[in-house]
Structure 1
């Protein structure tokens, strides 16, 4: 096929073949402050989940807490999965996981549900706040 305006150039939003893709070393615990925003690396979310948009487990909410045992680090995990397991050695919410991975919440839910279905992490609902606790928080915020 011939293009009337000359050869077709690659999409500038795609990852250049000659550059690293920006994956970090996941052997150390992930700190969102360590992210270098100057990198031009970007991986489309559907690539991470193989095109899936619906989590295997129903009922995951953004405040659902995810916890991983240290033994999960020995499992053969992909990049994002290993990052989630490393991050969740201490419980984190799905919203925090999405922020750490820099992916939409829906993608974070799919990754977490895959890990939970495989038995690498446990998920539990966040504890409910009492009305008194919410009112105390409201009063403290107003005092600021």
Structure 2
């Protein structure tokens, strides 16, 4: 008698853990302030994390904390590093925000004055890139 997995294709490109497993079945982050360019920064830990608290985090959570420990990292960069959809990454980041482990902020250009970047400059850059 053959095992049910014998006929399955062993495709190395497909992740072993499905996104719904990582998120506990959740499909939305419950936050609307996380965009692709939102910067995530790890909160300085007071050294009071117990071993149990560290092990309660999923490997993806720990990767996010490690990435954001040195400098702010955009949500899109985190998703690329985790090789997960952005929607799943936003759920993981939301978990860390709710736990007080990371903070989120808009990029400095938007945070300083709330104004959009100069459209003339952006259009000139776009036109220059098209000419390449």
Global fold match (TM > 0.5): yes
| RMSD between aligned residues | 3.0
Q: Which runs of 5+ in 1 are unaligned?
A: 1-5, 15-37
Q: Which of 103, 116, 120 is the equivalent residue of 2:97?
A: 116
Q: Counterparts of 2:124 and 2:78 in 1: how far apart (Å)?
A: 28
User: Which whole-Å deviations, capped at 9, do the CAs of 1:17-38 have from their partners, x for residues lacking one?
Assistant: xxxxxxxxxxxxxxxxxxxxx6
1:96 is the counterpart of 2:92:
no
User: Segments of 4+ in structure 1 off by > 3 A?
Assistant: 38-41, 72-75
Higher RCO (Cα < 8 Å, 6 or more apart)? 2
Q: Which runs of 5+ in 2 are unaligned?
A: 111-115
What is aligned with 1:61? 35
From the two aligned structures, give the one with the greater helix fraction.
2
Q: Describe how 1:1-144 pairs up with structure 2 within 5 A.
A: 9-10=4-5, 12=8, 42-71=16-45, 75=49, 76=54, 77-89=57-69, 90-126=71-107, 127=110, 128-144=116-132
Residues paired across the two proteins, number: 117
The TM-score, its normalising length taken from structure 2, stands at 0.71
The TM-score, its normalising length taken from structure 1, stands at 0.66
2:43·2:100 contact (CA, 8 Å) conserved in 1? no
